[in-house]
A and B are shown apart, each in its own frame.
Chain A
């Protein structure tokens, strides 16, 4: 077996895993901890891609930097979205069926609006490091994968620290376990959920910038990431961010190997196939509660 091919496949998989973790962390929060099935999450990732593209075309600044600076915007958007979701569905106890349809509609609308504005052409952002490759022996580390991976891991670890070490973070963990107890302690669970959801959307915006640096983007590709994000969260175990990281690594490497040895046409089936298998045989995932 060709060692260069093998090593490069592993490395590419690991680098992609970093990015996948950024995609999945939002779902891990909204679905894993808040029990909100936000399948519109990839729509916000793509929205983040286009916002980064737009500002980059206007100011010429690095898209990842742009997305970090603009993340408060996505935070506010998340708050507004949760507010609507709560008032229309959660409060009435109808969140399962109609909530799903609601988010599906939102996903759809973001996709179509982006198509109407930008068309179906693929867009890519060329940064200063887009074509640079660091080589270590036979292995290549393309910077277009490495930089987003590093920033993504920092972001995910940051979120994990936030959830574990701060009062608010622990309130988020608590709200998924026992809302009544939280109320007794004087914390409004609805407010906590709203801010946590907003955080998940903010991560989506940043993940979008990663995406458009890694590969060309067009509005319809959001759907391919739904399965990916949910597969990672379910595989890793809902509610555990460490599980999300592990799930991302498994998925990233599996996809990379499939693409390299069987052909890229099978790669999408990997994430969804893994998801179906996990749901069928071990729905709690690896680290689930």
Chain B
């Protein structure tokens, strides 16, 4: 399926699903669904640099936070409308990804991974010390009155927004995957030295991959301040985002856009269920265990199982 047709199909399917789900009565559905959709974006974004290019990013929270805090800043300064927040947040996060990439992507992949860890802590320290966006006390975004565009509530509105953003993320991922860029990234992932020798512009592609990946992560964070109303550093920089962004693509499968989607939907839904029924810390333990198990025993994730099953059926 060509990329254009895929994009159109994706949006049509998304709109249909969103429209249908808006009829759901249970208010908690939207809270839970928002959480899962944020992870869909994060997992898809991570996979662009992780699965397609082979560079592990441990600093997902840093870019997620850039998106969220750009929104806080714009809200405090200009009471900017949401669309401005989204565009700016994505752009700033993308630029940050580019900058970090430029500093570290010329080194071995391992150093890039450590650098991203370092970046997360540096960002956290920076935010904690920046009074204008609330510092350690946190920032409040108070949504009074009716939701825009006639939605039943702000929650419904933000749910629709994040669903649309998730679709955008998936389309972008697929676009990269099935293109010349994607093939170049795959070459880098398999053997960077050989790719370089074959004439692939490795640094440029890596930078593009990093910028896109980090930009999308920022995009995931831009609606957070509106949805939860209270934004504070420790929850934004939570390890949960870092681990899930890696676990979901690994469990779902890293070779295509389908993997992160499957991983995010499955793991995200499981986490929401556990959170409402049992203790929420158990949540994290399950995620960690699943990550370790899949990474050790099923490195190609669920997609890998599916492929193996298909291959066995052919025989």
Q: Which A residues form the contact surface with B (CB < 8 A)? A: 37, 39, 84, 88, 94, 96-98, 100-102, 104-106, 108-109, 111-113, 115-116, 220, 223-224, 226-227, 230-231, 234, 265-266, 268-269, 272-273, 275-276, 279-280, 283
- A111 to chain B: closest residue by CB: B239
Please report the C-alpha to C-alpha distance between residue A88 and residue B299 in the assembled complex, in whole angstroms: 10
Q: CB distance A279 to B115 under 8 Å?
A: yes
The A-contacting residues of B in range 220-263, CB under 8 angstroms, are 239, 243, 246-247, 250
Q: State whether the Cβ of B126 lies closer than 8 Å to any Cβ in chain A.
A: yes
With most chain B CB atoms within 10 A of its CB, the pick from A97, A227, A272 is: A97
Shortest distance in angstroms between A18's beta carbon and chain B's nearest beta carbon? Answer: 23
Q: Which of A105, A223, A226 contacts B288 (CB 8 A)?
A: A105
1/0 per position for B115-138, CB-CB distance to A under 8 A? 101110110111011000000100
Q: CB distance A98 to B118 under 8 Å?
A: no
Q: CB distance A272 to B119 under 8 Å?
A: yes
Q: CB distance B291 to A100 under 8 Å?
A: no
Q: CB distance A220 to B239 under 8 Å?
A: yes
Q: CB distance A283 to B107 under 8 Å?
A: yes
Q: CB distance B239 to A109 under 8 Å?
A: no
Shortest distance in angstroms between B249's beta carbon and chain A's nearest beta carbon? Answer: 10
Please report the C-alpha to C-alpha distance between residue A121 and residue B154 in the assembled complex, in whole angstroms: 36
Given contacts A108-B291, A268-B124, A279-B104, contact A101 B246 (CB under 8 A): yes
Q: CB distance A104 to B109 under 8 Å?
A: no
Residues of A within 8 A of B11 (CB): none
Shortest distance in angstroms between A285's beta carbon and chain B's nearest beta carbon? Answer: 12
Give the secondary structure class of A's interface.
helix
Q: CB distance B239 to A108 under 8 Å?
A: yes
Q: Which 5 A-B pairs have the closest CB atoms?
A: A105-B292, A272-B118, A269-B125, A108-B288, A105-B291
Q: CB distance A102 to B296 under 8 Å?
A: yes
Residues of B within 8 A of A220 (CB): 239
Shortest distance in angstroms between B235's beta carbon and chain A's nearest beta carbon? Answer: 13
Q: State whether the Cβ of B193 lies closer than 8 Å to any Cβ in chain A.
A: no
Q: State whether the Cβ of B64 lies closer than 8 Å to any Cβ in chain A.
A: no
Q: CB distance A275 to B107 under 8 Å?
A: no
Interface 9-mer from B16-24, B50-58, B143-151, B158-166: B50-58
- B51 to chain A: closest residue by CB: A97
Q: CB distance B121 to A112 under 8 Å?
A: no
Given contacts A37-B113, A279-B115, contact A109 B125 (CB under 8 A): no
Q: Which of A102, A112, A227, A265 contacts B118 (CB 8 A)?
A: A227
Residues of A within 8 A of B121 (CB): 223-224, 227, 268-269, 272
Q: State whether the Cβ of B282 lies closer than 8 Å to any Cβ in chain A.
A: yes
Please report the C-alpha to C-alpha distance between residue A112 and residue B121 in the assembled complex, in whole angstroms: 20
Q: State whether the Cβ of B186 lies closer than 8 Å to any Cβ in chain A.
A: no
Q: CB distance B103 to A112 under 8 Å?
A: no
Please report the C-alpha to C-alpha distance between residue A276 and residue B120 in the assembled complex, in whole angstroms: 11
Q: CB distance A100 to B119 under 8 Å?
A: no
- B50 to chain A: closest residue by CB: A97
Q: Which B residues form the contact surface with A (CB < 8 A)? A: 50, 54, 56, 58, 103-104, 107, 109-111, 113-115, 117-119, 121-122, 124-126, 128-129, 136, 239, 243, 246-247, 250, 279, 281-282, 284-285, 287-289, 291-292, 295-297, 299
Please report the C-alpha to C-alpha distance between residue A227 and residue B59 in the assembled complex, in whole angstroms: 12
Residues of B within 8 A of A231 (CB): 118
Q: CB distance B56 to A112 under 8 Å?
A: no
Q: CB distance A116 to B281 under 8 Å?
A: yes
Q: CB distance A226 to B281 under 8 Å?
A: no
Residues of A within 8 A of B239 (CB): 108, 111, 220, 223
Q: CB distance B292 to A106 under 8 Å?
A: yes
Residues of B within 8 A of A276 (CB): 103-104, 115, 118-119, 122
Q: CB distance B299 to A94 under 8 Å?
A: yes
Residues of B within 8 A of A97 (CB): 50, 54, 56, 109
Residues of B within 8 A of A98 (CB): 295, 299
Residues of B within 8 A of A265 (CB): 125, 128-129, 136
Please report the C-alpha to C-alpha distance between residue A265 and residue B130 in the assembled complex, in whole angstroms: 11
A105-B295, A223-B239 known; 19 other A-B pairs, CB under 8 Å? A37-B110, A37-B114, A39-B58, A39-B114, A84-B296, A88-B297, A100-B110, A104-B243, A104-B246, A105-B289, A112-B281, A224-B121, A265-B128, A268-B121, A268-B125, A269-B121, A269-B126, A272-B119, A279-B115
12 contacting pairs across A/B (C-beta < 8 A):
A96-B54, A97-B56, A97-B109, A101-B246, A111-B239, A112-B285, A223-B121, A265-B129, A275-B115, A276-B118, A279-B104, A280-B103
Please report the C-alpha to C-alpha distance between residue A1 and residue B281 in the assembled complex, in whole angstroms: 48
Please report the C-alpha to C-alpha distance between residue A230 and residue B113 in the assembled complex, in whole angstroms: 11
Q: CB distance A279 to B129 under 8 Å?
A: no
Residues of A within 8 A of B243 (CB): 104-105, 108
With most chain A CB atoms within 10 A of its CB, the pick from B124, B239, B282 is: B239
Shortest distance in angstroms between B263's beta carbon and chain A's nearest beta carbon? Answer: 13
Q: CB distance A109 to B296 under 8 Å?
A: no
Shortest distance in angstroms between B120's beta carbon and chain A's nearest beta carbon? Answer: 8
Please report the C-alpha to C-alpha distance between residue A106 and residue B50 in the assembled complex, in whole angstroms: 19
Shortest distance in angstroms between A85's beta carbon and chain B's nearest beta carbon? Answer: 9
Q: CB distance B284 to A108 under 8 Å?
A: yes
